[in-house]
Chains A and B, each alone.
Chain A
Amino acid sequence: MYRISNFIGKRSNWSLPYAVFLIIFVALPLVLIMGYAFVNEGGGFTFSNITRFFGDSDALSTFAVSIEIALETTAICLLLGYPVAWLLANSKFNGSSVTIIIFILPMWINALMRTLATADLFNMLGITLGKGTLLFGMVYDYLPFMIYPIYNVLRRMDPSYAEAAQDLGAKPLTVFANVTLPLSLPGITSGIMMVFMPTVSTFAISEFLTNNKIKLFGTIIQENINSSMWNYGAALSFIMLIIIGLTTLLTGSQEEDSSAQGGLI
């Protein structure tokens, strides 16, 4: 009895239930993706699921389209979102710290419903659904994820750096390019990650926004899993995981910083 209460009394042990939970529900599932990806129907080790992807022209072109759409969405979000974040973080243009909530609020509303409303809005305006509407809808869905991290970094930035540059005679544009922009890089990278990762992997959204004309990679994964092609579905998920892993590695060092600050909201 004494030993049990001693064990509970040690607070570092209190994370053990969660540690066990994480192993079962986070680590093991990822191992299973790899397990299923490298196993054939009979249970033997194989590379055939992976090689099948490289011979599957349908999946390959969907993969390329997904990467392309995700890159374009991310670029548009950055171009549109950076000025918003900059203006909102600048006390000259915005005195209240609550304004930002209005900009990030839509991301908490059911994404499917918003997407369907966007598609209907296009229909009503007589715009044909296609790549243009897909990009618009994706930008619309993910713009808040770009604005928020950049805003956070800009908001916390010490204004004296920019002032110093100005006092030393730099023009506003030079100040921005040489001081503000480099200092806001952590926000930009985490914004890029938060837009790129979900856009490269969405499913259902693109079908609704393009009237089934453009299919994205997430949908292929879903179709395979739903038609019980678990091994191939797992292999495709594995490929997606590699993309995500690479993106995290490329932007990773700065991301830790923003999660330490509490991440989203």
Chain B
Amino acid sequence: MKKLLARLYLGLILLLLYAPLIFIAVSSFTESKVLGNWTGFSTKLYSNLFSGGMQGSGLMNAVYNTLIIALIAAFISTLLGTLAAIGIFHSRGRLKNATMFLNNIPMVNPDVITGVSLFLLFVFLGVSQGYVSVVLAHITFCTPYVVLNVLPKLHQMNAKTYEAALDLGATPGQALRKVLIPQLMPGMVTGFILAFTMSLDDFAVTFFTRGTVGLETLSTFIYTDARKGGLTPELRPLMTIIFIVVFVLLVVVNIRQERAAKKKASLK
């Protein structure tokens, strides 16, 4: 009886959380212009999306920008964050505390503040806003997640292996590539995936730092579209696909972490 009630409650909350997503997924299979109108089953929106029927609407361009920005930001964040994590792990005292303190700020700061503050920075430095400023802004809020995912791996690994490599004649670069990075890889991959999804999902920071050159990402496209009234119907199949991709990515990340945790437990 108790179990049934528990299931019922969990099911109800899940329904609440998923209703809008299911709503989008279901209505991606009908042609109706208005979200919520069912005008018969159709895969036309999907074929529009893939056959280039969306040229000129700016949607595909926005998708392209979103992916490129997310890839570049996630890649640079992973490099910067991994190096930083190694440095933080081996430093002590004030420098370490200050770096960790600053590292935490982008994670606690609301998007609006991060966006406005970076906007003021680019104005102050005279950096023209567009692709570059958006990528820099995304690196700012993505890197902390990489640092936090690589640090635990450093705690787990044997710190002596790097020194052993140096003693055996490897240069720091070689030791980094051949000894450190392979051991940090799981944390780096998780960090990369998190950074990628954070960048993909961002709206506020992009909104403030994209300038006036007409750069659109998926989020800003949706915002502009919704303000004009009525969303481009092809967004429905697109969101459904993104939902499935993110689902798979997150399941992969979690299975990886689960496995790592099990491995750690079995080593003890």
Contact = CB atoms under 8 A, between A and B. Distances in A.
Interface residues of A, number: 85
Given A18-B80, A84-B13, A144-B17, A112 B222 contact: yes
A208 B226 contact: yes
Interface residues of B, number: 93
Contact of B109 (A32, A113, A121, A244): A244
B250 A23 contact: no
Contact of B17 (A8, A10, A103, A112): A103
Interface in A102-155: 102-103, 105-106, 108-114, 116-118, 120-121, 123-124, 140, 143-144
A197 B226 contact: no
Contacts of B107: 259, 263
Given A29-B121, A240-B110, A233 B148 contact: no
B219 A88 contact: no
B35 A117 contact: yes
14 contacts: A5-B172, A9-B172, A12-B87, A15-B85, A15-B87, A15-B99, A87-B10, A101-B250, A109-B201, A113-B235, A116-B222, A117-B20, A244-B109, A244-B110
Interface stretch (B40-48, B49-57, B67-75, B111-119): B111-119
B87 A110 contact: no
Interface in A78-94: 80, 83-84, 87-88, 92-93
Interface in B167-185: 171-172
B60 interface: no
B63 to A, nearest CB: 12
Interface of B: 3, 6-7, 9-10, 13-14, 16-21, 23-24, 35-36, 80-81, 83-92, 95, 98-99, 102-114, 116-121, 123-124, 136-137, 139-140, 143, 145, 147-149, 152, 162, 166, 171-172, 194, 197, 200-201, 203-204, 207-208, 218-219, 222-223, 226, 231, 235, 239, 242-243, 246-247, 250-251, 253-255, 258
B84 A234 contact: no
Most B-side CB within 10 Å, residue of A15, A143, A240: A15
B21 A11 contact: no
Given A140-B20, A230-B123, A265-B250, A203 B116 contact: no
Contacts of B16: 140, 143
A120 B18 CA distance: 14
B80 A21 contact: yes
A35 B124 CA distance: 11
Contacts of A114: 20-21
A192 B79 CA distance: 32
A33 B91 contact: no
B112 A237 contact: yes
Contacts of B109: 244
B242 A11 contact: no
Contact of A15 (B86, B197, B218, B258): B86
